[in-house]
Amino acid sequence: MEENLTVERSRVPLTKTDFVSDQMVKWCPGCGGHAILASVANVFPKIGYRKENFCMVSGIGCSSRFPYYVNTYGFHGIHGRANAIATGVKVSNPHLSVWIATGDGDSMAIGGNHFIHTIRRNVDVNIMLFNNQIYGLTKGQYSPTSPIGSVTKTSPQGTIEHPFNPGELVLGAQGTFFARAVDTNVKIMTEVMLEAARHDGTSVIEILENCVIYNDAAHTQITSKDLRDDNQIYLKNNEAMIFGKNREKGLRLAQGGLEVVTIGENGVTEEDLLIHDQYSQDPSMHLMLAKMSLPHFPVAMGVIRSAMYSTYDDMVEEQIKNAKENTKIRNVDDLLNSGDTWEI
Amino acid sequence: MQKFFKTMTKKKNDVITKEDVVVKFVGDSGDGMQLTGNLFSDTAALEGNDLANFPDYPAEIRGPINTIAGVSGFQVHIGHKRVYSSGDMCDVLVAMNPASLKSNLKWAKKGATIITDYDTYNDKVFEKSGYTVNPLEDGSLSDYNVIQAPITTLTKEALASLNLDNKTAEKSRNMFALGMMYFMFNWKQDKAFDFFAKKFKKKPIIVEANKLALMAGYNYAETVEAMSITYNVPAAALDKGRYRNISGNIATAWGFLAAAERSGRPLFLGSYPITPATEILMELSKYKNLGAKVFQAEDEIAGICSAIGASYAGSMALTTTSGPGLSLKSEAMGLAVITELPLVIVNVQRGGPSTGLPTKSEQSDLMQALYGRNGECPLVVMAAASPSDCFYAAYESAKISMEHMTPVILLTDGYIGQGSELFRIPKTASLASITPPIAEANDKDFQPFKRDPNTLVRKWALPGTEGLRHRVGGLEKENGIGNVSMDPANHQLMTDLRYNKVMKVADTLPLQEVTGAAEGDLLVVSWGGTYGAVHTAVEDLINEGKKISHCHFKYIMPLPKNTEEILSKYKQIVVCELNSGQFVQYLKINFPKYNYTQYNKVQGLPFNVSELSDKFNQILKEI
């Protein structure tokens, strides 16, 4: 993938400290936000852009305090509107690397509309979706990603709503980039953030985040030390889809969809396993991978989809360039005097 | 055709010279009334008349044929005298079918000339248009000079040589009617031919058809007895210069383009289509050649939020909407207020509440514009006075928003947005310069909320600039340094600063002017899009020697500094507005000790000059 050349690169090497803000981080001790923040501080210097060219935008929620904690240009918006605000920032100035910190309330509920339309347009922004499956800032109500049956303060008998799978929503909205990571794995978070930065178009990174106060251990089945190797599959482009403690399991295409197989059993060899193609234009396989869930499948981590497609902001610039080259109206005086006018 | 006229004798015409004439063209939505009206108006403009137009669309795109729901109209007011509104009642009504006659007869003056297509009058059509008997025969039109012309038949006959199908030939009926008007106003037909040649450049057959139809209409009018009176409206005494016809919505769009060019800040519009504001969005979409970035958002909220993002990034940011859309934008307006970013919100007001009367006009969003947000949330509110004034109002709203780092709500309305009038084309160099307070790179003293001590305006620090990284947001900020702050004293301070910053805009505003004597019995107060009708009514009374003056407001928040001084000079103040009394309440809050009365109308219609004059005369009698 080519790097986005519209953002100016830093002439001096940058480090983590260039992005640390002087503000006290006010997330709860043990909140997944801390690890995400650390990953961003790791990744931004590696991306290599001038530090003034980063702009962090957020909505409302715990995740959305993020801009105050990174030393970049930053905009803490209103509930649900981060994606709309960020679209304005990017279209106005395509030379900025725009990052959005949002949550499952902010982008899946109140801001769902802006989320899908930003993705559909393929605006070149990077969305970090902190998915803790709960409303934390308002103290523990269920969210659009809470699993059915979740007991929360507004669902004492368990939720009766079907949750969104953010990956499915992204691909349904014709998303060009979707990655998933867990807040406990800084290495994978860093890798997918770097790929997101390099992707031209809307990049969505779903980060499975732990809310230590209101939804503790929500992702334990996926993240705990003894379960994670069997319950996650880390997808790498051009590599076979292998997982398991002893890397003995894999994914294969069977009738009606994917199938988990064990290498060595029933004559299955590594050759039979699927090879991950994150750049495929066709999203069908990406959708199957994004939808995999426990207990029958591992949860897919890493970059699931990264397809090339023109970005909205690039096309705006191109149309402006073409229009300027092919016009007789070069300024507002020309415009005012165009068409039917007469002298008195 | 010759056959038809054989028995008629040509009459000598009496030409009456008129100060002004109001003509209304009405017909089915598909009858081409907008085009006919526009051509009529363009011709009057070339004759040197002053003018104002108003299109009168139904809310439906194409209502059922021959029903009242399907009637579309276009009113033109042309004058030797200065014309300030599209006029109350018409002198000439061109009604292409019974439904349009039925729905518009109330707008015809007694004695008006009514031209109507006799061929469309039959029992089937009467039923659809709500007539039980033929209005041409029941005596109900005895107060008018009715010309029943067989327009459909004669148009088809005139076009016979072109071998067009019936449907295509009938489309030229409107030009037959226009031909009659050309005769009535003693205009040369070649002006219309020039228009056809330009307008239908790619369809020579249509040019020919329209030409034949127009000529046929002209000749018919020359022959028919009822057309014995024709009008002469001499050229108006207009200031020298280059002119064009412009509608308020187009003028608004162009004013913003001018402001972007003069300020050097690229234009960004985030907007969602809504009647009657959509034309601004469509118009600005055309000007990528001037660098305008127009984002058609997924909803009203994304419209304003994208604009706020663009403003943060350094664009001259706009969002355009109408009433219900303004409601949806309320929360985000608060965000623009607390982040102290420039933004213009255009509200082309329509009838409310809720969906209300989408295609009709009202001034009922004033209180919402002033107060309709959570928290103490002051911003600048302005209102444009007329279609051409929209250009200057848009320019100025953008200038104020950027120079004072504040959102501005610009109120126009459906009437001036869609109505049009003559516009004397300015040179952009003659417009006031715009200098946004942009922070310089590596300014060691930069703080996001450090203020100019005189204007209280903070600096605009554009992302990408070296040495100015900072954060803004919807949480309250500490004055100066800009950190999130929940400190009670700081909140009080910031609340006061935001209010005072907006009030200080008044230091830069022109003083409020008054038409008529600087003191007297009665001061008529109006604001926004009612200027034309109110000004005309007051001017007429002044000319009659009445002690009456007029004060028309364009700046509402803050008010011009001499507002109270003006109010104090009159025994009585009457505030006229197209709502139930919102501006009068605002004046009472600010300047309680004066003697206010009010005149209101909430019918989705503009003021008539005559109803205003009647009201003012009544008040003058009682003083």
DSSP3 helix / strand / coil % (chain B, rounded to 5): 40, 25, 35
> How far from B158 is each of A46, A212, B163, B179, CA to CA, in Å?
78, 85, 11, 12
The C-alpha atoms of residue A141 and residue A147 are separated, in whole angstroms, by 12
A179 strand-pairing partners: A205, A303
Query: Looking at residue B63, what is its pLDDT?
Result: 75
For A29, A192, B84, B514, B551, the CA distances from B519, given in Å and listed in that order, are 71, 74, 24, 10, 11
> Which of A81, A331, A342 has its CB closest to that of B46?
A342
Question: CA B583, CA B601: separation in Å to the nearest integer?
Answer: 13
Output DSSP code: residue B202: T
Asked if the peptide bond before residue B98 counts as cis, ω within 30 degrees of 0, the response is no
pLDDT higher at B511 or A1? B511
Find the CB nearest A84 among B289, B301, B472: B301
Q: Is the dihedral of CA B93, B95, B98, B101 positive or negative?
A: negative
Q: Return d(Cα B274, Cα A182) in angstroms, integer.
A: 43
pLDDT of residue B8: 45
Q: Compute the distance between CA of residue B192 and CA of residue B480 in angstroms, rounded to an integer.
A: 64
CB within 8 Å of B479: residues ≥ 6 apart: B449, B451, B490, B493, B494, B497
Chain B residue closest to A331 (CA)?
A: B290
pLDDT of amino acid B13: 65
Burial-class residue A50 by CB neighbours within 10 Å (0-12, 13-18, 19+): middle
Nearest by CB to B240, which of A322, A341, A344?
A344
The nearest CA of chain B is from the CA of A253 a distance in Å of 38
Which CATH code, of 3.40.50.1110, 3.20.20.70, 3.30.420.140, 3.40.50.920, is assigned to B520-622?
3.40.50.920
Confidence at residue B623, expressed as pLDDT on a 0 to 100 scale:
87
**Chain A residues with CB-CB distance to B255 below 8 A:** none
Contact yes or no for B306 and A84 at CB 8 A: yes
- Ramachandran angles phi, psi of B589, nearest 5°: -65, -45
Provide the pLDDT for residue B238: 93
| pLDDT per residue as tens digits for the range A140-156 | 999 999 999 999 999 99
A17-26, B195-204, B555-564 — which one is most confidently predicted on average? B555-564
Mean pLDDT computed over A16-25: 92
Indicate the pairing of strand B242-247 with strand B293-296.
unpaired
The neighbour count for residue B136, using CB atoms within 10 Å, is 17
Q: Please identify, in words, the CATH class of the domain defined by B2-232.
A: alpha beta
Q: Which of B67, B21, B87, B180 is nearest to B607 (CA)?
A: B87
Chain B residues in contact with A52 by the CB 8 A cut-off are 463-469
- pLDDT(A4) > 70: no
B380: CB partners within 8 A, 6+ apart? B397, B400, B401, B404, B406, B407, B408, B409, B502, B505, B557, B558
Query: Are B328 and B300 a contacting pair, CB within 8 Å?
Result: yes
- Are residues B502 and B380 in contact, defined by beta-carbon separation less than 8 angstroms? yes
- To the nearest whole angstrom, how far is the Cα of A106 from the nearest Cα of chain B? 14
Cβ of B473 within 8 Å of Cβ of A74? The answer is yes
Say yes or no for a CB contact (<8 Å) between A88 and B239: no
Q: Which of A181, A233, A197 is nearest to A32 (CA)?
A: A181
Indicate the residue of B289, B335, B466 with minimum beta-carbon distance to A327: B289
Share of chain B above pLDDT 90, in %: 92
Please indicate whether the domains covering B2-232 and B520-622 agree at the CATH topology level: no
- pLDDT, tens digit (0-9, with 9 covering 90-100), for B464-490: 999 999 999 999 999 999 999 999 999
Asked if A76 lies within 8 A of B473 by C-beta distance, the reply is yes
The pLDDT tens digits of the residues spanning B371-423 come to 999 999 999 999 999 999 999 999 999 999 999 999 999 999 999 999 999 99
Chain A residues touching B301 at Cβ < 8 A: 81, 84, 114
A1 pLDDT band, cuts 50/70/90, is very low
Q: Which long-range contacts (CB under 8 A, 24 or more apart) does B560-563 make?
A: B560/B506, B560/B509, B560/B510, B560/B511, B560/B512, B561/B506, B561/B507, B561/B509, B561/B511, B562/B511, B562/B512, B563/B512, B563/B590, B563/B591
SS3 B226: helix
Average the pLDDT over B225-246 and give the result. Answer: 90
Cα distance between residue B563 and residue B561, in whole Å: 6
Q: How far apart are CA A93 and CA A53, in angstroms?
A: 10
Instruction: Using alpha carbons, select from A303, A297, A111, A293 the residue that is nearest to residue A219.
Output: A293
**Strand bridging mode A232-235 / A299-306:** parallel
With a CB cutoff of 8 Å and minimum separation 6, the contacts of A104 are: A129, A130, A131, A132, A133, A134, A143, A144, A145, A164, A166
Residues 287-306 of B with CB under 8 A from A: 287-291, 293, 295, 297-299, 301-302, 305-306
SS3 of residue A326 by DSSP: coil
Contacts of B289 (CB under 8 A, 6+ apart): A320, A323, A324, A326, A327, A329, A330
Choose among B48, B261, B311: nearest Cβ to A344. B48
Which residues, in sequence order, are CB contacts of B590 under 8 Å at separation 6+? B559, B563, B564
| Cross-chain residue pair A88–B474, CB shorter than 8 Å | no
Residues in B closer than 8 angstroms to A93, CB to CB, are 313-315, 462-464
pLDDT confidence of residue B228: 75
Nearest CA in chain A to B50: A344
CA–CA distance, A86 with B453 (Å, rounded to integer): 32
Distance, in angstroms, between A296 CA and closest chain B CA? Answer: 38
SS3 B256: helix
φ, ψ (nearest 5 deg) of residue B277: -100, -10
Measured in angstroms, the CA of A209 and the nearest CA of chain B are apart by 24
B244-430 is classed CATH 3.40.50.970: yes
Read off the pLDDT of residues B8-63 as tens digits, 9 standing for 90 and up.
Answer: 444 556 899 999 999 999 999 889 999 999 999 999 999 999 999 998 877 666 77
List the single residue in A with minimal CA-CA distance to B336: A77
Distance CA A105, CA A87 (A): 19
A93–B288 C-beta distance less than 8 A: no
Angle at B488 between CA B484 and CA B494, to 5 degrees: 65
Instruction: Please tell me the predicted confidence (pLDDT) of residue B225.
Output: 74
Residue B142: is it exposed, middle or buried by C-beta count within 10 angstroms (0-12/13-18/19+)? exposed
CATH number (3.40.50.970, 3.20.20.370, 3.20.20.140, 3.30.450.40) of A16-218+309-323 reads 3.40.50.970
Residue with tokens 């993938």: A1
Q: Hey, is the C-beta of B237 within 8 angstroms of any chain A C-beta?
A: no
In this prediction, residue B56 carries a pLDDT of: 83
Q: Whole-angstrom Cα distance, residue B560 to residue B570? A: 18
Q: What is the DSSP letter of A52?
A: G
CA gap B38, B42 in Å, rounded: 6
> What pLDDT band is residue B4 in, cutting at 50, 70 and 90?
very low
Rounded mean pLDDT of chain B? 95
Q: Exposed, middle or buried, B534 (CB in 10 Å: 0-12/13-18/19+)?
A: buried
Please give the structure tokens belonging to residue B77: 């007011």
**Angle formed by the axes of helices B173-184 and B204-223, to 10°?**
50
Give residue B10's pLDDT: 46
3 state SS of B30: helix
In chain B, where are the structural domains located?
Answer: 2-232, 244-430, 437-508, 520-622
Question: Residue B551: which of B358, B559, B543 has the closest Cα?
Answer: B559
- CA B526 distance to own-chain centroid: 16
Strand A257-262 versus strand A249-254 pairing type: antiparallel
Q: Around Cβ A256, how many Cβ atoms within 10 Å?
A: 6
Chain A, nearest residue to B287 by Cα:
A323
Chain B: nearest CA to A237, how far in angstroms?
34
pLDDT in tens, A216-274: 989 999 999 999 999 999 999 999 999 999 999 999 999 989 999 999 999 999 999 99
Inter-chain contacts counted by CB atoms under 8 A, chains A and B: 200
Q: Domain extents for chain A?
A: 16-218+309-323
List CB contacts of B182: < 8 A, sequence separation 6 or more.
Answer: B43, B188, B189, B191, B192, B214, B217, B218
**B342: nearest Cα among B448, B453, B436:** B436
Name the band, by pLDDT with cuts 50, 70 and 90, for residue A105: very high
A87 contacts B309? CB cut-off 8 A: yes
Indicate the SS3 state at residue B177.
Answer: helix
Chain A residues with beta carbon closer than 8 angstroms to that of B306: 84-85, 87-88, 91
Q: Which of B220, B121, B205 is nearest to B165 (CA)?
A: B205
CA A45 to CA A50: how far, in whole Å?
A: 9
Chain B interface test: which of A14, A76, A85 (most B C-beta within 10 Å): A85
Whether B290 sits inside 8 A of A86 (CB atoms) is no
Query: Which residues does residue B113 pair with via DSSP β-bridges, in sequence order?
Result: B92, B145
Structural tokens at position B471: 């954060």
Q: What is the ipTM of this complex?
A: 0.97
State the sign of the Cα–Cα–Cα–Cα dihedral B335, B340, B343, B348: positive
Chain B, residues 328-387, CB within 8 A of chain A, namely: 331-332, 334-335, 339
**Does residue B75 surpass a pLDDT of 70?**
yes
B551 near B568, Cβ under 8 Å?
Answer: no
Are the beta carbons of B533 and B607 closer than 8 angstroms? yes
pLDDT in tens, B245-263: 999 999 999 999 999 999 9
